[in-house]
Structure formats: C-alpha cells, structure tokens
Amino acid sequence: MVKDKLIFFLAFISTIFLFLPFTWLLSVLLIKGAPVIFKGGLEFLTGIPPLPGDGLGGIGTVLEGSIFMAIIASLISIPISILTALYIVMYEGGLFAKILRFLVDSLVEFPTIIIGISVFIIFVQNLKLGLNGISGAIALSIIMIPYTTIQAIENLRQSKDEYLEVGYSLGLTDSNVIKLILSEGREGVITGILIGIAKIFGETAPLLFTTVTSFNIFLRTLTSPITGVPSLIFNFAFSPYNNWLDVAWGAALILALTVTILFTLARIFTRRKL
Amino acid sequence: MVRLIDLAFQKLELILNEMSEEALKSLDMLAYFKKHHTAKELKEISDKLRKLKEEAGELILEILVRYQPMATDLRFAKSAMEISYDLYRISRYSYDIALALDEANLSLDECIDADVQNNIEKVKSMLNLTIKAMLERNKDLAIEIKNMDQVIDKAYKEYFYKALVYKGGKCSIANLLIMRYLERIADHCAYIADEILFVIKGSK
Amino acid sequence: MENYVFEIDHLNVWIENKHILKDICNLKIPKNTIFAIMGPSGSGKSTFLKLLNRLLELKKNVKIEGEIKFYGQDIFKIDPIRLRRRVGIVFQQPNPFYHMSIFDNVAYALKANGLIKNKADLINAVTEALIRANLYDEVKDRLNKPASVLSGGQQQRLVIARALALKPEVLLLDEPTSQIDVVGARKIEELLISLKEQITIILVSHTPQQAARISDYVALFYDGRLVEWGQSENIFTYPKNELTEKYVAGRI
Ligand SMILES: Nc1ncnc2c1ncn2[C@@H]1O[C@H](COP(=O)(O)OP(=O)(O)O)[C@@H](O)[C@H]1O
Ligand SMILES: [Mg+2]
C-alpha cells in the first residue's frame, strides 16, 4: 500500500515536471505570439515581412516557402521511404536489407547541420543549384527519409506478417500481394509521413545553408530565392528591431501550432488502425 | 499428474467392485438356501444391485459429459454400463432361483442332484474368475470365461433333454429351473468377458 | 484415383536444416470429406497444411522431398498461383482485411485476380460466397461497413467466404475455431459439415473432441511423424497405435 502510494506520488511529480516546461513554453508563446497574430489578422499569414521599424506586415513569403519545401521534400521522401521500407521488409534478413536498415538508422542520428552543409557543398556549390527552395527541400528530405522509413518499416512488417500468406493464399500475383501489404499498412505509413513533415517543418539548421536570408520574395519559379519560417524566426529573433521581434513571436506560434496539428493528425491515424 | 477422468473411474470401479462382491454373495447364499438364508435376503441383494447399477449409470453419464472420453476411456465407460447391468442380472437370477425353490417349498440340499450342485460350483468359480478378469483387465481369463460358458450351455442342454424323459416331480422341475437360471448367469459372465475384451482390444 | 484429392508419400520437409516432417507415407485425403489433423503443438500440422497449397515454399530455406499429388498430378508441377486458387486456406487468427468493407473483403481476390470484371457478376459471386459461408443473413444490411465491426466468429466466417469466393475445390483450415467463442465455433463447425458436400475440407483441429465431432477421417501427427490415420469412428474408439490412444485420451 505504502509502496503503491509512493509510486503514484513519484509518477505525479514527474508528470508535473514534464508538463512544466511544456506549459511554460506554450504560455510564453501564446502571451507573446497571440496578440501579434490577432493584430495582424489574415495579413499576418499572407503579407510580406516588414522592414525594420515598419509595422507588422506578415510571414506569407516564408510560410509559402515552408509549405513549398515541405511538399517538394515529401515528393522526394515518400516514394524513397516507402520503396526502401518495402525492400527492407520483403528481404528481411538479406545482406542488402541489413545494410539499408543500418543506413536508415544512422541517418536518424545524423546532426541536421551536417546534412545542411553537405547539401550546400554538393548541390548548391558543385551542382550549382543555388540557394533556393529546391536545395532547402533536398536537405529537408534527407532529414525526413529516415523518420518516414522507420515508421513505414514497422507498419509494413506488421502488414506483411498478417497479409503476405493471406495474399498468396488467395492466388494473388507477387505485385498484387505487395499492393495488398501496402494498402493494409497504409495508415501507419501515413502517420510516419505526417510525423516526418512535422519534423522538417521546424528544422532550421539545414535551411541556413541551403536557402537565402532575404524574406520578401514570393515563389515565382521553382528556383526563386526563398526560405522558410524557421529561418525568419532565427534572423528576426536576434534583431534589435521591436517589430521584427513581434513578427518572430507570431511566426513561432504559427510554427508550433502547425507542428502540433500535424502530430495530432498523426495520432488520429495511429488510433484509427486499432 | 493424475487425470481427472481417472479419479472418476476410480469411483466407478469401487461401485463395480461392490456389485461384484454382492453378486458373488448372492450365489453363495443359494448354496445354504433355507438352512440359513431366505428368498427375502436374496431380494434385498438384488434390489441393492439395482440401485448400484443406477448409481453407476449416473456416474458414467457424468463422466461422458464432463470428460468426453475417447479410446480406451470411452470403451471402459461403455463397458462399465453393460457390466453393471450384467452383475445386477446375476443377482436377480439368484433371487429367481430362490423364488423357484420357495414356491416349491424346497431347500436346496433336499433334492438337489449332483449335476446341479456341480453346475452351481462351476458358475460360482466362473463369476469369481470374471471379477478377477475385470479387475486385472486380463484378456486370457476373459477368453477362458467364454469357453466355460460354452461348457455350461452344453450341460444345461443335456440336463434339459434328460428332464424331458424323466418324470421326477417337483424336485426335478426345481432342478431344471435352477439349471436354466445358472445357464443365464453364465451367459452374463460371458457378456462381461466380452466387455473386458472390448475394453482391452477395442473389438469383441 | 479420382477419389483422392491429395496423395502423399515419402514426404520429408526441412526448414532451416531442421527436420520438420519426417517420412510421411501413404496418406490419402478422400474427396468430399472432412479430414482432421490433430497432434500436439509443434508436431508439424501447420507446416503440413501450408505444404498442400505451396504456401510453405514462400519461407526461406525450405527443403521438400517426396511426393504430393493433387488429383493425381504432382503439385510441384502445378503453377502455385493456380493451385492456390483451387486450394484455399483459413488461419487460426481471423484475418479479414480490416481496411476494406465486408463486401470488398469477399470481392477482393476476384477483382485482383481479374476473374470477374462485371459489377453484377461480382455482386452475385460475393452474395453466393457469403451465403455458402453462412454469413449472408447476418451482414446483408451492412455490406459496406468495415470488416472490423464483425465479431470474431463472424470475421472467421468472412475469411471463409473470402476463400470460398474463388470456388476452391479444397479448403484448408488451421485451428479455425481456437480463437473463437463456443457459439461462434459451433457455427463454423456446422458450416464445415454443410460445405463438405461440395468441397473437401482439411482441418487442423486444436481438440480431439472437435475432430471427433465433425471429421470423417482423422490423422495424428506427433513430432513430425504421421502416427496413424483412418476413419474417425475407428480412431476415436479403437485407435490401433498406442500414441494415438494416449493422445486422444489425454495421457500426453
Ligand atoms: N520458419 C521456421 N524455422 C524453423 N523452425 C520452424 C519454422 N516454422 C516452424 N518451425 C518448426 O516446425 C515445427 C512444426 O511447426 P508447426 O507446423 O507450426 O507445428 P503445429 O502447427 O503442429 O503446432 C515446430 O517445431 C516449429 O518450431
Ligand atoms: Mg499450428
């Protein structure tokens, strides 16, 4: 009995300690960011970032940039992740599958700043891609791939265990069996994709090396010199201008909300599976 | 680990043992009929065996329901049902013999002839053997019992034809009846032997 | 020869160099019967079942020796995809496609295999399979609901319907009722009895009682060996082999 109470007490304390930074973070963000967003209104989501001392403006350019890069990064990562995961699952135990798995696991632990630098050297400098959304998206996709792949592996493996034999037993061909495994495992895979997008949405370091530091250009062509929300926050937050600081807070709240929504969606998808 | 069904079978075997002892006792009593025992006593034994037979039947049903026995277990359950009936019938024939003697107001030693006396002893030892074979699940004994039954059958038939020509009054009628009932008792011993073979080999 | 669906002789199977099935000889599965396979777990029943529609070969490091004939034809010379359409299988755990509707579960293989293209034919085929699986009345008003709304027993019958949709000649079932409640299990047993008029059923049974209830023939596997097989009424009352006796009497 005493032991039970003690355990309960410890759990309670640790919950509070976990909640403390989270709630503190959220309250600061809300207190500082919410008034900015209310003041700016819709303009805040669509407008151009202001000049120093020149009102509030908006974060439309970088929000567009972030979304653009997320889409391009997803277009690159999703097929690669799914195919990699499928290979690893279907050829589990094989040498190449083991090597792939090892690479994916290592990539998760890789410092994102190094990924940024590598993409800068290879794509921006050597391949002359320039500092733009595409370069940024390439760096982000390299960060996203291991996350989505690992999630996909777990879910496709389960789906394979459950449906490989069933598929073959129904007289399906190899390709139809793979379709079946993908289709039955899709919710977990989608969860992984959402988590991956949430992860890259807030990534700052790689953007610093692969995109520009001017924030007032909308996307005209695929290679327009643009950047994302985190870079703007990074630059504005350390500026001496009050209006820039306000914009940074507002942008930070928007970023936090987006990521939270993505995670919630991911959770909903996971739960649907049961 | 003892199987649950074995515990139930132990109970069943206790009942069958008691029935065997009682059946044997009823045959023993016949030998001293009128001097020491009455038809009423034999009726009591027969009634008791009928109750025990019911008891065994209920227990066997319970075993079937609870344990869904198979193979040897199933065969034993089925055979135990038959055997309990056979034992009851044996005691019932003993009583029938007693009734026949009573009706004719005879005691056994008064007019019993050597053939009949001989047959009583044979049937008694046959029942003894049957019980032994049952306890030991002894295939050879069971086969021997079946052979003995044929001897008794033959003896009855011979006695019957002898009685047809011999006009001997009530003693001879009583003797014939006794021979007839003894033959039936021997039949039931043979049935039990069949059941024993069925339990052991799965065929008769 | 036409009286036997499968004939197995001198069969040996190794998985990962482990001898799993050991010299299974002279085993014949008569047509239109329920043939039960029983034995302690790990005795090779599932392995044997998966051999019959060549699912076992999907595993790595499987070595098979010996003879299996399907209607007199060597199964290793039959295209596995064709064979599997003729020999369906149902597993222990009900495994419908949870993401699909009840209808699509049954229609799936027909569509994916390109066997039926016309919508009306598809509806007919699905309805027929559901009726044969004794499930139609319970689901006819909710064919578009996901399979997950069904109870375990219904899911298992849905899986049977899914297999029946391909009109197989043989249905293999691997302990199909061991995860199902009694009522559900009884319905499946009744279903199997009704199916055997049209198809041959090979059933791995988790209890000798079930095998005794519904099978016409029964085989005992023990440690990868075929101990004995024959007509059920004989095996359950007068087993010839001492191991069979012990197994059905619950002495092992
Ligand atoms: N992939 C495998 N690798 C190694 N051993 C296996 C494999 N699959 C099954 N076995 C072994 O084969 C034996 C028979 O298994 P199985 O056919 O599933 O038995 P049952 O269905 O009778 O319980 C078991 O000893 C099991 O450990
Ligand atoms: Mg198994």
Query: What pLDDT does residue A274 have?
Result: 44
**How far is the C-alpha of B69 from the C-alpha of B199, rounded, in Å?**
13
Lowest mean pLDDT segment, chosen from B87-101, C21-35, C127-141: B87-101
- Write down the pLDDT at residue A272: 59
- Residue B55's pLDDT is 96
Q: What is the pLDDT of residues C51-71, one digit of tens each?
A: 999 999 999 899 999 999 999
Determine, for residues C109 and A170 on separate chains, whether the beta-carbon distance falls below 8 Å. Answer: yes
For residue B26, how far is the Cα from the chain centroid? 10
Touching pair B, C by Cβ (3+ pairs < 8 Å)? yes
pLDDT band of residue A249 (cuts 50, 70, 90) is: very high
Q: Give domain status of residue A13, yes or no.
A: no
Q: Tokens 């559901």 label which residue?
A: C130
Query: Which burial class, exposed, middle or buried, applies to B154 when counting CB atoms under 10 A from its CB (0-12, 13-18, 19+)?
Result: exposed
Which ligand has an atom closest to residue C45 CA?
1
Number of folded domains in chain A? 1
What b-and-e string marks burial along B44-57, b requiring 16 or more CB atoms within 10 Å of the CB? ebbebbbebbebbe
* Among the partner residues C55, C91, C97, nearest to A168 by beta-carbon distance: C55
- Is B73 in Cβ contact with C237 (below 8 Å)? no
Across the range A251-274, mean pLDDT stands at: 84
pTM of the complete model: 0.82
The answer to whether residue A31 is domain-embedded is: yes
pLDDT over 80 (residue C102): yes
Residues of chain A contacting residue C82, judged by C-beta atoms under 8 Å apart: 171
Q: Per DSSP, what are the bridge partners of residue C202?
A: C35, C172
Interchain contact A/B (3 or more Cβ pairs less than 8 Å): no
> Which residues lie closer than 8 Å to B68 by C-beta, 6 or more apart?
C209, C212
- Angle between the A95-109 and A133-169 helix axes, to the nearest 10 degrees? 140
CATH code at A111?
A: 1.10.3720.10
Shortest Cα–Cα distance, C171 to chain B (Å): 27
Domain count for chain B, please give it.
1
**Nearest in space to C174 (alpha carbons), one of C69, C87, C82:** C87
Query: What is the C-alpha to C-alpha distance for residues C35 and C232, in angstroms, rounded to an integer?
Result: 9
What the block records as the tokens of C189 is 């047993």
Nearest-Cα distance to chain C for B5, in Å, is 9
Range of the domain at A254: 22-273
* H-run or E-run covering B16: helix B4-31
* Amino acid identity, position A10: L
Range of the domain at B197: 4-201
Q: Please tell me if the CB atom of residue C205 comes closer than 6 angstroms to any atom of ligand 1.
A: no
C171 contacts C195 by C-beta, under 8 angstroms = yes
Only one residue has tokens 């987006």, namely A258
**Contacting partners of chain B (3+ CB pairs under 8 A):** C
The answer to whether the CB of B74 falls within 8 A of the CB of C236 is: yes
User: Are the Cβ atoms of B70 and C251 closer than 8 angstroms?
Assistant: no
| Smallest CA separation from ligand 1 atom 20, residue | C42
HEC string of chain C? CCCEEEEEEEEEEEECCEEEEEEECCEEEECCCEEEEECCCCCCHHHHHHHHCCCHHHCCCEEEEEEEEECCEEHHHCCHHHHHHHEEEECCCCCCCCCCEHHHHHHHHHHHCCCCCCHHHHHHHHHHHHHHCCCHHHHCCCCCCEHHHCCHHHHHHHHHHHHHCCCCCEEEEECCCCCCCHHHHHHHHHHHHHHCCCCEEEEECCCHHHHHHHCCEEEEEECCEEEEEEEHHHHHHCCCCHHHHHHHCCCC
Paired residues of C7 in beta bridges? C28, C69
Position B113 scores a pLDDT of 79
pLDDT digits (tens, 9 = 90+) for A9-47: 989 888 888 888 888 888 999 999 999 999 988 999 999
Residue A10 lies in a domain: no
For chain B, 204 residues long, the average pLDDT of each consecutive 10-residue run is 89 94 89 72 94 96 93 93 95 89 73 82 92 91 94 91 79 84 94 93 68
Per DSSP, what are the bridge partners of residue C173? Answer: C90, C203
What is the average pLDDT across C124-150? 95
Q: Which atom of ligand 1 is nearest to the CA of C41?
A: 23
**What is the share, in percent, of chain A residues with pLDDT greater than 90?**
72
Query: Does pLDDT of A148 surpass 90?
Result: yes
Taking residues C166-175, report their average pLDDT. Answer: 96
Q: Say yes or no: CB of residue C46 within 6 Å of ligand 1.
A: yes
Q: How far is C237 from chain B (nearest CA, A)?
A: 4
State the distance between the two ends of chain A, measured CA to CA, in whole angstroms: 35
> How many B×C Cβ pairs under 8 Å?
34
pLDDT at B36: 67
Q: Is A16 inside any structural domain?
A: no
Q: Does B5 touch chain C (CB under 8 A)?
A: yes
Q: What's the whole-number average pLDDT of chain C?
A: 94
Percent of chain A with pLDDT over 70: 98
Can you say whether residue A62 is alpha, beta or left, with left for phi > 0 and alpha for psi between -120 and 50 degrees? alpha
Query: Is pLDDT of C1 > 50?
Result: no
Lowest mean pLDDT across A124-133, B32-41, C173-182:
B32-41
Task: Assess B3–C contact: CB distance below 8 Å, yes or no.
Answer: yes
pLDDT at C129 over 90: yes
Report chain A's mean pLDDT, rounded to a whole number.
91
Residue C216, token pair as written in the block? 């016409």
pLDDT given for residue A271 in this prediction: 66
- pLDDT tens-digit map of A203-243: 999 999 999 888 888 988 888 899 999 999 999 999 999 99
Distance, CA of B70 to CA of A241 (rounded, Å):
91
User: Which chain C positions have a beta carbon within 8 Å of A164's beta carbon?
Assistant: 58
User: What tokens does B113 get?
Assistant: 């002839």
In a domain, A250, yes or no: yes
Q: Which long-range contacts (CB under 8 A, 24 or more apart) does B177-181 make?
A: B177/B97, B177/B100, B178/B97, B178/B100, B178/B101, B178/B112, B178/B116, B178/B119, B178/B120, B179/B115, B179/B116, B179/B119, B179/B155, B180/B156, B181/B93, B181/B94, B181/B96, B181/B97, B181/B100
The secondary structure of residue A93, as a DSSP letter, is T
| Residue A12 is assigned to a structural domain of this protein | no
CATH code of residue B47: 1.20.58.220
Which tokens hold the place of C220? 């005992």
Contact call for C97 and A184, based on CB within 8 A: yes
Task: Provide the phi-psi class of A249: left if phi over 0, else alpha when psi is between -120 and 50, else beta.
Answer: alpha
pLDDT of B146 reads: 94
Q: Determine what percent of chain C is predicted with pLDDT higher than 70.
A: 99
C183 C-alpha to ligand 2 centroid (Å): 22
ipTM of the complex: 0.93
Q: Is A4 among the domain residues?
A: no
Contact A164, C58 (CB under 8 A): yes
> Is residue A55 a part of any domain in this protein?
yes
Please report, as a single letter, which amino acid is at residue C153: G
